Amino acid sequence: MRNPLFFLTGIGYGPAMTTGTMRLEAMKLDCQRGGREVFSGLNFTLEPGEALIVTGPNGSGKSSLLRLIAGLLTPVAGSLHWQGQAAKSVEGWPGHYLHYAGHLMALKPALTVLENVRFWAEFYGRGAKAKGACITLGLENLLDFPVRYLSEGQKRRTALARLAAVPLPLWLLDEPTSGLDRETTERLETLMDRHLKEGGMVIAATHLPINIPGSRALALGEQS
């Protein structure tokens, strides 16, 4: 079943990503970093249109969880399923399914805002709308500005513009609002809200309060 607003918004998922059967399922995930157990036996499921806000103190494994879902880390035990299939065996996983925005922003100081956004946008999707995405994030006056001269918040916005440029169903966001002003935080919330309404999924790890209607919370406990 395709997103009904597809023709209106111009944003939609490819044929492989029909929203009807999308479902992310984590089963008894165990994560270890440097021989220390970060979390264990973690279960959750995420359906289209759902957001999961991961909270917890420093070192509780928020970032590790996101990296683990993205496949940058391998769980010690447990498994991750996408549409009932082991995520790793899904064709095109993870590149065609998820956006990972870690706290490192993957921006090149020597390139302009638009060049940075366009590079990643084209890398993750064909015919991506890099310019429109920059405007969504309020970067219209900085398009030809080298990233070197940007403030932290502006850099964060440039990094997040990728999400708006390429429609992928699952967003993994690590502290997405850190360094953002109030107005941009609201822009991001609107962006996430729209993504969810279109049947997307969001997993965000954050310390700062973030306002996404209907989101669920996942609290990772202190394990030390």
> CB of 95: closest distance to other proteins in angstroms?
3
Token pair 């999308």 in the structure block, residue: 22
- Per-residue mark of binding to other proteins, 27-66 (x: CB under 8 A): ----------------------------------------
Q: Residue 82 and residue 109: Cα distance in Å, rounded?
A: 36
Give the residue with the Cβ less far from other proteins, 117 or 212.
Answer: 117
Q: Which DSSP letter does residue 221 get?
A: P
Instruction: State the Cα angle at 53 between 196 and 140, rounded to 5°.
Output: 55
* One residue of 20, 41, 92, 132 binding other proteins per CB under 8 A: 92
Give the residue with the Cβ less far from other proteins, 9 or 123.
Answer: 123
Q: Where would I find the H helices in the chain?
A: 6-9, 62-70, 113-124, 130-136, 152-165, 182-197
- Select the span of 9-17, 39-47, 123-131, 191-199 touching other proteins (CB under 8 A): 123-131
Instruction: Give the footprint of other proteins on this chain (CB under 8 A).
Output: 70-74, 92, 94-96, 98, 100, 102-108, 110-111, 119-120, 122-124, 126
